[in-house]
Amino acid sequence: MGKLSHWQEIPGGVAAPRSFWASGVKAGIKNSDKYDVALIASEVKAEAAGVFTRNVVKAHPLLLTQKHLANGRARAIVANSGNANACVGAAGDQAALAMARAAAEGLGLTADEVLVASTGVIGVELPLEPVQTGISQAAVELKALLQGNSKGIAAEAKRLEAAHRAALAIMTTDTTVKEFAWEMECKEGAIRLGAMAKGSGMIHPNMGTMLGFITTDAEVPAAELQRLLREAVDESFNMVTVDGDTSTNDMVLFLANGASRINPVGEEWERFEQMVKAMAVHLAREIARDGEGAGKLLEVKVTGAKTKEDARKIARSICGSSLVKTAMFGADANWGRILCAAGYSGANFNPGKVDISLGNLPVALAGQGVSFSEDEAKLILQKDEIPISLHLHNGLEEATAWGCDLTYEYVRINGDYRT
Amino acid sequence: MGKLSHWQEIPGGVAAPRSFWASGVKAGIKNSDKYDVALIASEVKAEAAGVFTRNVVKAHPLLLTQKHLANGRARAIVANSGNANACVGAAGDQAALAMARAAAEGLGLTADEVLVASTGVIGVELPLEPVQTGISQAAVELKALLQGNSKGIAAEAKRLEAAHRAALAIMTTDTTVKEFAWEMECKEGAIRLGAMAKGSGMIHPNMGTMLGFITTDAEVPAAELQRLLREAVDESFNMVTVDGDTSTNDMVLFLANGASRINPVGEEWERFEQMVKAMAVHLAREIARDGEGAGKLLEVKVTGAKTKEDARKIARSICGSSLVKTAMFGADANWGRILCAAGYSGANFNPGKVDISLGNLPVALAGQGVSFSEDEAKLILQKDEIPISLHLHNGLEEATAWGCDLTYEYVRINGDYRT
């Protein structure tokens, strides 16, 4: 973020990079008239990388995708919402494979070139026929878009609209569609980066029911792509918490198809890395902001830590504290809860040295409260982005985490999710 | 629990064991007409043990109490609610010492014979004068009760009423007073055990803003008392979670004054140990049941684990999951969230082997859903105690944890706690 001088926004989401297409359809998995199957494809082979949930319970599509990623290559991503395809035994493995096969058949690929993702309720068998029908339908549309690969405004509008439907199709309780694309100028042309994500509930380090799909037309070998994705996820998706629950289905996938014919090196590679990391942070912030029932984005920045891991633990612990989250909901400058959450984070620090600020307002210095204007604090806490900063005066490391307030609406949404 | 054949309920709470007295007064710390200072004293020296929060941020009275406990002896406990006396620097250390001194002066003891506890808002200086006045007042009452140490019904009623006020005085957002006493027959007479506790918000392993004071007139040396208390707390208070926040102020204290002149050994010691552990579990359950905004008690029992620690991690992770808690609030048999919470607990197990039941209703076998009657599940989940059991089929270890549902009321209470 804030580095937009190095790149600019463009339309198209994951289909913005050259030779990528995306589409979303209504397959009828959700009991409502909503998009629920997304298909993303590259016209040419792409280098591929992925980062996955650390939950011991892993959804069936996740296991398949890990297998298909083993060679560092992929051509397509197929995803559904409305059903997690998790904890349903052999039927789940078969369903995930059937999804890959349906996409492969529709696009003229082999099944192992297709990565599969699901999100939704756990423990219920995926209704296979509607999903397969939906995937075929999406594939038909992608091929039509591909064949009509003209540069006309009408054709381009159609392409963008289809890609937008893909971003809609992975939403569950999300209230905003998360679809972004940026372009970075290089000496020999431009590199494009596209992304879509879903978050909302069950978001926690390390990753929640979080799906993130990132595409680029830069030339990047798979190993490099994987390293960059891992670093980007560590500083973004893994620093988001909505409700402390780490899902069975999380994954972030990154495809690089090289269609720009630019292999960024030196200063261009540095800018590319920055752009990818900024995109991951941007997605993470948008996921936190749109946490289930959330009214406010919390951004907790910890500086002056002895180790990076200490800074990370404290930032995430504060973001994850139900008592901090409800205080932020109530615009209550209860900084004691912030210091307390730091205290049980498992990090090593001296509470007697900690400075705490809400926005630019210092509320505690050297571990003790300072007198501050409650009115001024209210003004800061009533905004829809609340920056909380802690200086530990214990070293040079820092970390930032994102979260949201805990509201009545969170309870309402999750009190009766299945029915 | 369930072992009441080995002991029986008696009135009096912490003042039930011989030569213990307790009193609670309204010192005016809370901005309301509520009891907020409690004083417990033994007529004779008592062996003493304590278990404390693991939060790095420790309240001032906690540090003082640890110091005063170093010799394994104490005569009195003084506690206040309405202010945590935490994170206020040197003034906090002075305030904690002033509380001990006020109690010592009132009771004719030395300050280091007094243990101090506080609970309430963090980071605000304790209003010292009203607290000291309240403590003196409570001490005057205790001495009057002690001098009028007759066996008459009226005198006993007065004693019980005063002890009840002590239990009231440590409540914060608790809605029920937690005060219990049991008596166990031995060959040479009876041993009594008394207890009071407060819980409600910020309850999490390892301990929340949890104060627990346990008294007995058994003869038990301090080292033995400490070992027993540690074991009891590990299986009770440390297995309770309300909202994932571990407080700065938690402590459980255990005083044994030997006034029964019974030194339980052999079978009597075993029964005594059982009784103490059962009391700790009873307090823990009552704390979970009365969690902030809670409507239901969750009891999660994990069996068939390879290690005790695995069983503990899984049980606590499920109890602490916001998604499980909201599902229980909504009486939604969403067992996938239960398995998911087990999956991110950090414990080692095979999700494909796990059986899950709600009450006596199996909802998943070998990691997969089984068809069950949603109506039957609703009936189980609408009760005010919800037993959730998991069998891991991975070993012989087990553990139980307690928690509560996550409700609108939790959000309301914590959205504006300070004001």
Condensed to tens digits (0 to 9), the pLDDT of residues B15-51 reads 999 999 999 999 999 877 899 999 999 999 999 999 9
Give the model's pLDDT for residue A55: 80
B170-197 confidence digits (pLDDT tens): 998 788 999 999 999 999 999 999 999 9
pLDDT for B307 beyond 90: yes
Give the model's pLDDT for residue B206: 36
Place of tokens 């926690």: A204
Fold of B297-415: Ubiquitin-like (UB roll) (3.10.20)
Give the model's pLDDT for residue B419: 45
Q: Which residues in chain B touch residue A336, judged by CB atoms under 8 angstroms apart?
A: 84, 86-87, 121-124, 248
pLDDT for A418 beyond 60: no
Give the model's pLDDT for residue B201: 57
Arithmetic mean of pLDDT, B396-403: 94
Contact criterion met (CB < 8 Å) for B89 and A366 = yes
pLDDT for B205 beyond 50: no
What are residue B404's DSSP bridge partners? B297
Q: Calculate the average pLDDT of chain B.
A: 90
Give the model's pLDDT for residue A16: 96
Contact criterion met (CB < 8 Å) for A344 and B407 = no
**Whole-angstrom distance, CA of residue A252 vs CA of residue A231:** 12
Q: Which amino acid is at B386?
A: I
Give the model's pLDDT for residue B344: 84
A326 is a catalytic site residue: no
Interface residue A327 vs chain B (CB under 8 A): yes
**Whole-angstrom distance, CA of residue A214 vs CA of residue A11:** 14
Task: Please say whether the beta carbons of B414 and A323 come within 8 A.
Answer: yes
Q: Quick one: which H or E segment has residue B193?
A: strand B189-198
How buried is A237 (Cβ within 10 angstroms: 0-12 exposed, 13-18 middle, 19+ buried)? Answer: buried
Q: Other C-beta atoms within 10 Å of A73: how many?
A: 15
Every domain of chain B and the residues it spans: 4-289, 297-415
A297-415 matches A4-289 in CATH topology: no
CA-nearest residue to A242 within chain B is B322
Arithmetic mean of pLDDT, B189-209: 73
- Nearest CB to A56 within list B122, B351, B369: B351
- Nearest CB to B411 within list A87, A88, A326: A326
B333-364 confidence digits (pLDDT tens): 889 889 988 988 889 999 999 999 999 999 99
Arithmetic mean of pLDDT, B386-409: 92
* Residues in CB range of B28: below 8 A, 6 or more apart: B36, B127, B130, B134
DSSP A238: G
Catalytic residue among A119, A209, A215, A248: A209
B13-24 confidence digits (pLDDT tens): 999 999 999 999
CA-nearest residue to B202 within chain A is A323
Q: Calculate the average pLDDT of chain A.
A: 90
pLDDT for A2 beyond 50: no
More confident residue, A331 or A162: A162
Q: What is the token pair recorded at A325?
A: 């989250």
Contact criterion met (CB < 8 Å) for A366 and B407 = no
Superfamily of domain A4-289: L-amino peptidase D-ALA esterase/amidase (3.60.70.12)
* Residues in CB range of A408: below 8 A, 6 or more apart: A293, B408, B411, B412
* Residues in CB range of A375: below 8 A, 6 or more apart: none
Arithmetic mean of pLDDT, A186-209: 75
Between the ranges A71-80, A373-382, B206-215, where is the mean pLDDT highest? A71-80
Give the model's pLDDT for residue B172: 84
* Across A24-28, A36-40, A179-183, A343-347, least confident range: A343-347
**Whole-angstrom distance, CA of residue A163 vs CA of residue A328:** 36
Give the model's pLDDT for residue B81: 93
DSSP B70: T
Q: Quick one: which H or E segment has residue A115?
A: strand A114-119
Contact criterion met (CB < 8 Å) for A56 and B86 = no
Give the model's pLDDT for residue B208: 44
Arithmetic mean of pLDDT, A149-175: 87
List the 280-299 stretch of B: residues with Cβ below 8 A of A.
none
What is the pLDDT confidence band of residue B246, given thresholds at 50, 70 and 90?
low
